Amino acid sequence: MVLKEPIKVEQDFFLFDYNGNIINLKNILKSYNLIFFGYTSCPDVCFLALKDISETLRYVKKKEINVIFISLDLKRDKPEIVKSYLSKFNSSFLGFIPKDENELYKISKFFSVAYEIDTLSGYIGHSAFIIFVKGNKIIEYFPIGMKPIDIASDINKF
Protein backbone atom coordinates (compact mmCIF):
# COMPACT_ATOMS: atom_id res chain seq x y z
CA MET A 1 0.00 0.00 0.00
CA VAL A 2 1.70 3.18 -1.19
CA LEU A 3 0.70 6.18 0.88
CA LYS A 4 -0.86 9.08 -1.03
CA GLU A 5 1.03 11.46 1.23
CA PRO A 6 4.27 10.19 2.76
CA ILE A 7 4.44 10.56 6.54
CA LYS A 8 7.53 12.31 7.85
CA VAL A 9 9.34 10.70 10.79
CA GLU A 10 10.17 13.77 12.85
CA GLN A 11 9.30 12.55 16.34
CA ASP A 12 11.87 11.27 18.79
CA PHE A 13 11.61 7.52 19.39
CA PHE A 14 14.13 6.16 21.88
CA LEU A 15 15.31 2.58 21.60
CA PHE A 16 18.03 0.38 23.09
CA ASP A 17 20.61 -0.91 20.61
CA TYR A 18 22.64 -4.17 20.90
CA ASN A 19 24.98 -2.59 23.42
CA GLY A 20 22.24 -1.24 25.65
CA ASN A 21 22.81 2.32 24.45
CA ILE A 22 19.79 4.54 23.84
CA ILE A 23 19.47 5.76 20.27
CA ASN A 24 16.92 7.96 18.52
CA LEU A 25 15.28 6.17 15.58
CA LYS A 26 15.29 9.24 13.35
CA ASN A 27 19.09 9.45 13.72
CA ILE A 28 19.69 5.98 12.26
CA LEU A 29 17.38 6.23 9.27
CA LYS A 30 19.28 6.10 5.98
CA SER A 31 18.23 6.70 2.38
CA TYR A 32 16.32 3.39 2.21
CA ASN A 33 14.89 1.60 5.25
CA LEU A 34 12.69 -1.41 5.86
CA ILE A 35 11.17 -1.55 9.34
CA PHE A 36 9.44 -4.53 10.91
CA PHE A 37 7.87 -4.78 14.37
CA GLY A 38 7.87 -8.24 15.95
CA TYR A 39 9.44 -10.36 18.66
CA THR A 40 12.02 -13.14 18.77
CA SER A 41 9.80 -15.84 20.26
CA CYS A 42 7.03 -15.26 17.70
CA PRO A 43 5.90 -18.70 16.49
CA ASP A 44 5.17 -17.80 12.88
CA VAL A 45 4.81 -14.39 11.23
CA CYS A 46 8.05 -12.75 12.36
CA PHE A 47 10.22 -15.55 11.00
CA LEU A 48 8.45 -15.39 7.63
CA ALA A 49 8.67 -11.60 7.45
CA LEU A 50 12.39 -11.51 8.21
CA LYS A 51 13.06 -14.33 5.74
CA ASP A 52 11.15 -12.38 3.08
CA ILE A 53 13.06 -9.18 3.88
CA SER A 54 16.34 -11.04 3.55
CA GLU A 55 15.28 -12.40 0.17
CA THR A 56 13.98 -8.98 -0.94
CA LEU A 57 17.46 -7.53 -0.51
CA ARG A 58 18.74 -9.80 -3.28
CA TYR A 59 16.41 -8.11 -5.79
CA VAL A 60 16.75 -4.49 -4.71
CA LYS A 61 18.92 -2.37 -7.00
CA LYS A 62 19.70 0.11 -4.24
CA LYS A 63 23.05 -0.70 -2.69
CA GLU A 64 22.25 0.14 0.90
CA ILE A 65 19.01 -0.83 2.58
CA ASN A 66 18.82 -0.34 6.33
CA VAL A 67 16.73 -3.15 7.86
CA ILE A 68 15.39 -2.27 11.30
CA PHE A 69 13.63 -4.75 13.60
CA ILE A 70 11.79 -3.24 16.58
CA SER A 71 10.79 -5.64 19.33
CA LEU A 72 7.31 -5.66 20.81
CA ASP A 73 8.42 -7.91 23.69
CA LEU A 74 10.05 -5.75 26.34
CA LYS A 75 10.02 -8.52 28.93
CA ARG A 76 11.82 -11.30 27.03
CA ASP A 77 13.73 -9.63 24.19
CA LYS A 78 17.11 -8.42 25.39
CA PRO A 79 19.74 -6.88 23.08
CA GLU A 80 21.84 -10.07 22.86
CA ILE A 81 18.74 -12.19 22.10
CA VAL A 82 17.61 -9.83 19.34
CA LYS A 83 21.11 -9.73 17.83
CA SER A 84 21.40 -13.53 17.81
CA TYR A 85 17.91 -13.93 16.33
CA LEU A 86 18.48 -11.44 13.51
CA SER A 87 21.88 -12.91 12.62
CA LYS A 88 20.02 -16.02 11.42
CA PHE A 89 18.56 -13.92 8.61
CA ASN A 90 21.24 -11.35 7.79
CA SER A 91 24.12 -10.02 9.86
CA SER A 92 23.42 -6.46 8.67
CA PHE A 93 19.92 -6.35 10.19
CA LEU A 94 19.64 -3.94 13.12
CA GLY A 95 17.50 -4.77 16.14
CA PHE A 96 16.15 -2.41 18.76
CA ILE A 97 14.02 -2.51 21.88
CA PRO A 98 11.88 0.47 22.95
CA LYS A 99 13.18 1.97 26.20
CA ASP A 100 9.88 1.36 28.04
CA GLU A 101 6.17 0.62 27.63
CA ASN A 102 5.32 4.27 26.94
CA GLU A 103 7.91 4.45 24.15
CA LEU A 104 6.63 1.17 22.67
CA TYR A 105 3.09 2.56 22.67
CA LYS A 106 4.21 5.86 21.12
CA ILE A 107 6.27 4.31 18.31
CA SER A 108 3.77 1.56 17.51
CA LYS A 109 0.94 4.08 17.33
CA PHE A 110 2.94 6.36 15.01
CA PHE A 111 3.74 3.47 12.63
CA SER A 112 0.15 2.09 12.88
CA VAL A 113 1.26 -1.16 14.48
CA ALA A 114 -1.37 -2.81 16.65
CA TYR A 115 -0.34 -5.36 19.27
CA GLU A 116 -1.83 -7.20 22.21
CA ILE A 117 0.07 -9.21 24.80
CA ASP A 118 -1.50 -12.34 26.27
CA THR A 119 -0.19 -12.19 29.84
CA LEU A 120 -0.75 -15.91 30.43
CA SER A 121 0.99 -17.35 27.36
CA GLY A 122 3.30 -14.47 26.48
CA TYR A 123 2.03 -14.61 22.91
CA ILE A 124 1.87 -11.20 21.24
CA GLY A 125 -0.72 -10.74 18.54
CA HIS A 126 0.45 -7.95 16.27
CA SER A 127 0.10 -6.23 12.91
CA ALA A 128 2.29 -7.86 10.33
CA PHE A 129 3.64 -5.65 7.59
CA ILE A 130 6.97 -4.33 6.40
CA ILE A 131 7.29 -0.55 6.39
CA PHE A 132 9.31 1.17 3.67
CA VAL A 133 10.85 4.45 4.82
CA LYS A 134 12.77 6.53 2.28
CA GLY A 135 14.97 9.02 4.06
CA ASN A 136 12.70 10.10 6.86
CA LYS A 137 9.34 9.51 5.15
CA ILE A 138 7.07 6.48 5.38
CA ILE A 139 6.32 5.62 1.75
CA GLU A 140 4.68 2.21 1.72
CA TYR A 141 3.40 -0.70 3.81
CA PHE A 142 4.00 -4.21 2.41
CA PRO A 143 1.72 -6.99 3.69
CA ILE A 144 3.27 -10.22 4.88
CA GLY A 145 2.98 -12.80 2.13
CA MET A 146 3.82 -10.35 -0.64
CA LYS A 147 6.52 -11.87 -2.82
CA PRO A 148 10.01 -10.51 -2.13
CA ILE A 149 10.56 -9.80 -5.83
CA ASP A 150 7.40 -7.64 -5.83
CA ILE A 151 8.51 -5.77 -2.70
CA ALA A 152 11.88 -5.11 -4.34
CA SER A 153 10.17 -3.94 -7.54
CA ASP A 154 8.23 -1.33 -5.55
CA ILE A 155 11.35 -0.17 -3.72
CA ASN A 156 13.27 0.04 -7.01
CA LYS A 157 10.74 2.61 -8.27
CA PHE A 158 12.08 5.08 -5.73
**What pLDDT is recorded for position 4?**
87
Q: Note the pLDDT tens digit of each residue in 10-25.
A: 999 999 999 999 999 9
Residue 49 pLDDT > 80: yes
Helices (H) and strands (E) in the chain, counts: 5, 10
Beta-carbon count within 10 A of 73 CB: 21
Determine phi and psi for 148, rounding to 5 degrees.
Answer: -55, -35
**What pLDDT is recorded for position 3?**
82
Residue 41 pLDDT > 80: yes
Q: Note the pLDDT tens digit of each residue in 70-128.
A: 999 999 999 999 999 999 999 999 999 999 999 999 999 999 999 999 988 889 999 99
